[in-house]
């Protein structure tokens, strides 16, 4: 019969390893991503994984303060993603109006 | 006792879903599908981890904070995913070769043939082949 607390501590450590593996994969996409949109998506997932890791870390260490850090980080990551997405779109539209302005307007 | 097993199972499930989101981001063929994988699986995995955390502590304040993060994720992640998808489509990224429905591209091509643009800010991205209307 497996002990409950033993299973819990094992699963928390396993969860941290899985999240670290996910972060490594997201970093790989961030490094090789062919377009800028791929890198922004990888950054977005990376920040989500960091939030998940902070949650797991707060259970692992018993410090509930990490949850506040996770709240702040989630807000900041959302703002960063939106800023980067708008930047990509704006620069693409500028490129479009500079190159193909003879057939519209 | 049972709470420990439930919490541990939720931790394993949530982190596995987060890992699947990362695998999807590496293996899927184009930015739109990658965005889809990262958003949905990542949000569900993170939410499961937060539920597990609330079960583990079993206090009101921590459960409220976990609920705040879940609500924050549920509100912000679709908006961010929509913006990234829009930006990646308009910046003219190459779609997967197995894409066979592109309704926005069809609408833009039709409007261009009729000599009018549907909405002021929708334009045909450079290098995007004009797709046949329906298949």
Q: Please give the full DSSP string across chain A, using - where no structure is assigned.
A: ---HHHHHHHHHHHHHHHHHHHHHHHHHHHHH-SSHHHHHHHHHHHHHHHHHHHHHHHHHH--TTHHHHHHHHHHHHHHHHHHHHHHHHHHHHHHHHHHSTTS--
Lowest mean pLDDT among A12-21, A56-65, B52-61, B125-134: B125-134
Shared domain check, B120 and B86: no
Q: Which of A41, A73, A99 to mutate: most B Cβ within 10 Å?
A: A41
**Which chain A residues are within 8 Å of B118, Cβ to Cβ?**
none
Shared domain check, B53 and B83: yes
What pLDDT shows up at residue B89? 85
Q: What ipTM is given for this predicted complex?
A: 0.87
* Nearest residue of B to residue A36, measured between CA atoms: B88
Interval B102-124: pLDDT, tens? 777 777 777 777 766 545 445 55
Interval A30-53: pLDDT, tens? 999 888 899 999 999 999 999 999
**Which chain A residues are within 8 Å of B46, Cβ to Cβ?**
48, 51-52, 55
Shared domain check, B86 and B29: yes
Interval B30-76: pLDDT, tens? 999 999 999 999 999 999 999 999 999 999 999 999 999 999 999 99
Identify which of A99, A36, A85 has the alpha carbon closest to the alpha carbon of residue B124. A99
pLDDT band at B125 (very low <50, low <70, confident <90, very high): low
The residues spanned by each domain of chain A are: 4-98
Shared domain check, B103 and B73: no
Shared domain check, B119 and B77: no
Shared domain check, B51 and B17: yes
Shared domain check, B44 and B103: no
Q: Say what the pTM is.
A: 0.86
Shared domain check, B83 and B104: no
What pLDDT shows up at residue B116? 65
Interval A65-103: pLDDT, tens? 999 999 999 999 999 999 999 999 888 878 767 765 544
Shared domain check, B57 and B30: yes
Domain A4-98: assigned CATH number: 1.10.287
Task: Give the number of domains in chain B.
Answer: 2
Q: Which of A84, A92, A94 to mutate: most B Cβ within 10 Å?
A: A92
Residues 43-72, chain A, touching B (beta carbon < 8 A): 44-45, 48-49, 51-52, 55-56, 58-59, 64, 67-68, 70-71
Interval B12-25: pLDDT, tens? 999 999 999 999 99
B2 at A interface, C-beta within 8 A:
yes
Shared domain check, B111 and B69: no
* Tokens representing residue A9 in the block: 């501590």
Cβ distance of B16 and A18 shorter than 8 Å: yes
Structural domain that includes position B23: 2-93
Shared domain check, B103 and B88: no
pLDDT band at B100 (very low <50, low <70, confident <90, very high): confident
Shared domain check, B68 and B31: yes
């Amino acid at each position: 019969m497996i002990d409950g607390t033993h299973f819990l501590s094992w699963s928390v450590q396993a969860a941290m390893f899985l999240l670290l593996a996910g972060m490594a994969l997201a970093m790989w996409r961030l490094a090789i991503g062919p377009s800028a949109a791929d890198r922004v998506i990888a950054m977005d997932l990376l920040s989500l994984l960091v939030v998940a890791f902070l949650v797991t870390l707060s259970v692992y260490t018993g410090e509930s303060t990490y949850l506040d850090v996770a709240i702040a980080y989630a807000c900041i990551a959302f703002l960063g993603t939106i800023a980067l997405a708008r930047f990509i779109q704006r620069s693409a539209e500028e490129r479009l109006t500079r190159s193909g302005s003879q057939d519209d307007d | 006792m049972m709470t420990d097993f439930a919490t541990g199972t939720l931790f394993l499930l949530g982190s596995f879903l987060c890992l699947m989101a990362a695998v999807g981001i590496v293996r899927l063929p184009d930015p739109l599908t990658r965005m889809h994988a990262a958003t949905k699986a990542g949000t569900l995995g993170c939410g499961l981890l937060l539920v597990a955390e609330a079960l583990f502590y079993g206090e009101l304040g921590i459960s409220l904070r976990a609920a705040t993060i879940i609500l924050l994720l549920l509100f912000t992640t679709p908006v961010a995913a929509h913006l990234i998808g829009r930006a990646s489509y308009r910046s003219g990224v190459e779609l997967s070769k197995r894409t066979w429905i592109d309704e926005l591209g069809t609408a833009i091509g039709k409007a261009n043939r009729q000599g009018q643009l549907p909405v002021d800010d929708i334009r045909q991205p450079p290098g995007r082949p004009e797709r046949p209307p329906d298949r």
